[in-house]
Chain A
Amino acid sequence: MIFAPDFNPVWKGTTAMKKIHTLVIGAGQAGLAMSHCLTDRGIAHVVIERGQIANSWRHERWDSLRLLTPNWQSRLPGHAYTGPDPDGFMSMPEVAGYLDAYARASRAPVEEHTRVLSVTADAAGYRVATDRGDWQCRTLVLATGACNLACVPAVAAGLAQSVTQITALDYRNPDQLPDGGVLVVGASATGVQLAAEIRDAGHEVTLAAGEHIRMPRHYRGRDIQWWMDRAGIHSTTIDEVDDIARARNVPSLQLVGNRDRQFFDLNMLRNRGVEITGRLADIRDNRLFFSGSLANHCTMSDLKMNRLLASLDLWAETQEVCGLAAPERFAPTQFPATPCLFHDLGTGRFRTVIWATGLRPDHSWLHVPVFDRKGRLAHAGGHVAPGLYALGLPFQRRRNSALIDGVGSDAEALADHILETHGQLAA
């Protein structure tokens, strides 16, 4: 085996395995929050990061994206937004800057440009092989995020070569698309935002919508995130929901980080000239087939929205909040009476298909038997195995576990556990 010249000052050759009590993989909000909590508890640790701090925010999001949560709602252990616009929404460079500042303020021991090749268990804990040397740790925290890989449905294989396929992870802006029609598959926050932006750039756009959740940006004069924060919707724990598997798969709300956009829903897209169809059911015989279930999906979306608004109204009755406007209900989603059931690909209408069909974590380097039969990381509130933790997964301990604002609470709890069970403090 040939090794590249060693340019990492910490790593001295192939035989010197570095040792650390706790190793954190990933320097996004989860890894940085955990680092902050570990430092607070005096636990020696290192954070390794494949690229730069906030790498996914910097390199794996589209250009126009802003957080769906307002600036005040990016609270992290020991860190909060102090800028001039608490009700604004951060752009991706702003998120990266925010997390850079957090890493500096926390003095987080981050080793950037260090990619994990494999993780294995050994008698003393875990062995982590990277492209810049190997680590041995007692405790390992997986903070690599929930959005590393795009979920693309199997029907994608039926698309002709002449149609460009990209995923939401690869999409940056409309300039990268060939001229011609675009099919956006998926109607969560990602799908509706991409459909609107691509339509505005002059493309003919069809949006295939399965299950989705419509939500107003503001309700009774407050941002919807203010409501979900104050009413405790975000802090709902896994013990408080009937079916955690279902709760973890709820699509993101149809929102955009723009206070002037009250609804970013199917009605808005139709008004902009986007064709709305049911979920993409199949691609065969050079045809796209759409489900006839659009009406029910729209009905369910309105029911879910109204159920949440009703629960917020109930909560508000028990509170003394000054200046709240009266409760309101919104006109239902206007779906087409006879939505299109298929498009012929032979007409050349579609030059591009964008898969906005969800993202999932990448644990392909984790060689420890900790997966369920569907290949997903099995964990109980982030506890994966003795000494092995995960952080930043959807609804890990609370509904907002995967949000910047929610990861801190999970990091505190897991850092406490590390302290109690592997309580060897830094020398």
Chain B
Amino acid sequence: MTYETKINPVDNGVNTEALIGARGAFEQMPQAAAFTFRSTCDWISGTRNCNSLNGYFGLGEEQTRKETFAIASDHPEVFAAADTAPTPPEIVLAALASCLTGGLAAVAQHRGIKLHSVRAVVEGDIDVRGILGMDQGIRNGFSAIRVSFDISADASDEDVAALVAQSQKRSAVYDMLTNTTNVAVSVA
């Protein structure tokens, strides 16, 4: 296995050279590292709405993608809604799973660990009496979030555990969920 690894460099489809190059460039020009992402959400009907995501600011200027992405949201039928799309909290769970999984692949590539399969199952516990305003003692959001990874990789259990730990350490969404963020909401 070690021999094979040596003659066939690990490829998880992550361009770590580019990421390391970016670190060097941002060291020289930290202002280029200031990005602003955005999503534009339009109400459709009831709890259904849809986000379009395209432009963002980064590398010192406005950037445009080739494709505009859409993320729709709704609520399930048990809340008397149309259930045409996942709920916003589920999208948050999906964002966390995506962030950790993407980061894990990048860290694995950097550490020379070949991944065969990675699956993350994310669960969030929420007492909906909070959002219904029934009890001041119950928070609106998730009271707990659990992520369970199933990983097949050419690495020891301890090295896999270290990948999972490092992916949390470098995850934007994990940071936003575990630490506090100021949110300013205004009306144009």
A299 at the interface (CB under 8 A from B): yes
Knowing that A282-B180, A296-B169, A300-B169 touch, tell me 7 more A-B residue pairs with CB under 8 angstroms.
A278-B178, A281-B179, A281-B180, A291-B179, A293-B174, A300-B165, A306-B158
A168 nearest CB across to chain B (Å)? 23
User: Judging by beta carbons under 8 Å apart, are B168 and A296 in contact?
Assistant: yes
* Cβ–Cβ < 8 Å partners of A373 in chain B: 30
Q: Which 3 A-B pairs have the closest CB atoms?
A: A292-B178, A281-B179, A282-B180
Q: Give bound CA distance, A278 to B144, whole Å.
A: 15
B161 & A293 in contact (Cβ 8 Å cutoff): no
Chain A residue nearest to B178 in the complex (CB): A292
Residue of A284, A289, A338 touching B144 (CB-CB under 8 A): A338
Residue A368 is within 8 A (CB to CB) of chain B in the complex: no
Tell whether, in the assembled complex, residue B158 and residue A303 are in contact, meaning their CB atoms are under 8 Å apart: yes
Contacting residues of chain B (136-159) with chain A, CB-CB under 8 angstroms: 144, 158
For the complex, give the distance between the alpha carbons of A306 and B161 in Å. 12
- Tell me how far the C-beta of B115 lies from the nearest C-beta in chain A, rounded to whole angstroms: 19
Chain A: minimal CB distance from B85 (Å): 27
Q: Are A289 and B180 in contact (CB under 8 A)?
A: yes
* Candidates B162, B177, B178, B180; contact of A303 at CB < 8 Å: B162
A289 partner residues in chain B, CB cutoff 8 A:
179-180
Q: Determine whether the beta carbon of B162 is less than 8 Å from that of A282.
A: no
Residues of B within 8 A of A278 (CB): 178
Q: Which residues of A contact B178 (CB under 8 A)?
A: 278, 281, 291-293
Do B177 and A292 touch (CB < 8 A)?
A: yes
Interface size on A, residues (CB 8 A): 17
What is the chain B residue whose CB lies nearest that of A372?
B27
Q: Given the complex, which residues of A lie within 8 Å of B169, measured CB to CB?
A: 296, 300
| Chain A residues near B180 (CB-CB < 8 A) | 281-282, 284, 289
CB-contacts of A278-301 with B (<8 A) = 278-279, 281-282, 284, 289, 291-293, 296, 299-300
Most chain B beta carbons < 10 A, residue from A279, A284, A292, A338: A292
B contact face: mostly helix, strand, loop, or mixed: helix
16 A–B pairs (Cβ distance < 8 Å), ordered by A:
A281-B179, A282-B179, A289-B179, A289-B180, A291-B178, A292-B178, A293-B174, A293-B179, A296-B169, A299-B161, A300-B162, A300-B165, A300-B166, A303-B162, A303-B165, A307-B158
Q: Which residues of A lie under 8 Å from residue B168 when comparing CB positions?
A: 293, 296
A contact residues around B166 at 8 Å (CB): 300
Cα of A292 to Cα of B177 in the assembled complex, Å:
8
**Whole-angstrom distance between the Cβ of A350 and the nearest chain B Cβ:** 18
| Chain A minimum-CB-distance residue to B174 | A293
Which residues of the partner chain B approach A300 to less than 8 Å between Cβ atoms? 162, 165-166, 169
**Residue in chain A with minimal CB distance to B179:** A281
Nearest chain B CB to A166 CB, angstrom units: 24
- Closest A residue, CB atoms, query B143: A338
Q: How far apart sit A373 and B33, CA to CA, in the bound complex (Å)?
A: 15
Chain B positions within 8 Å of A338 at CB level:
144
Residue of B nearest to A284 (CB): B180
- The CA-CA distance from A296 to B174 in the complex, in Å, is 11
For B168, give the chain A residue with the smallest CB separation.
A296
Nearest Cβ distance between residue B42 and chain A, in whole angstroms? 32
CA distance A36 to B174 in the complex (A): 51
**Using Cβ atoms and an 8 Å threshold, which residues of chain A touch B165?**
296, 299-300, 303
For B174, the chain A residues whose CB sits under 8 A away are 293
Would you give the shortest CB distance from B67 to chain A, in whole angstroms?
A: 34
Report B175 CB to chain A, min CB distance, Å: 8
Q: Give A373 Cβ to nearest chain B Cβ, in Å.
A: 7
B144: A residues at CB distance < 8 A:
338
B158 to chain A, nearest CB (A): 7
> How far is it, in angstroms, between the C-alpha of A292 and the C-alpha of B165 when the chains are bound?
14
B110 → chain A closest CB, angstroms? 10
A contact residues around B179 at 8 Å (CB): 279, 281-282, 289, 291-293
With a cutoff of 8 Å between Cβ atoms, the chain B residues found around residue A306 in the complex are 158
CB proximity of B101 to chain A, nearest CB, Å: 16
A303 touches B30 (CB 8 A): no
Q: Which residues of B contact A282 (CB under 8 A)?
A: 179-180
Q: Which residue of A lies closest to B161 (CB)?
A: A303
Which A residues touch B162, using CB under 8 A? 300, 303, 307
Smallest CB separation, B165 vs chain A (Å): 5
A279 to B180, CA, bound (A): 11
CB distance from B113 to the nearest CB of A (A): 15
Shortest CB-to-CB span from A277 to chain B, Å, is: 12
Q: Which residue in chain A gives the minimum CB-CB distance to B23?
A: A243
B158 neighbours in A (Cβ, 8 Å) = 303, 306-307
Within 8 A of B (CB), among A108-160: none
CB of A317 to closest CB in B, whole Å: 18
Q: Which residues 245-298 of A sit at the B interface, judged by CB distance below 8 A?
A: 278-279, 281-282, 284, 289, 291-293, 296
Q: For the complex, what is the distance from the CA of A156 to the CA of B165, rounded to whole Å?
A: 28
* Bound form: Cα–Cα A279–B179 in Å: 9
Set of chain A residues within 8 Å of B30, measured between Cβ atoms: 373
A236 to chain B, nearest CB (A): 19
Most A CB within 10 A of own CB, among B158, B162, B178: B178
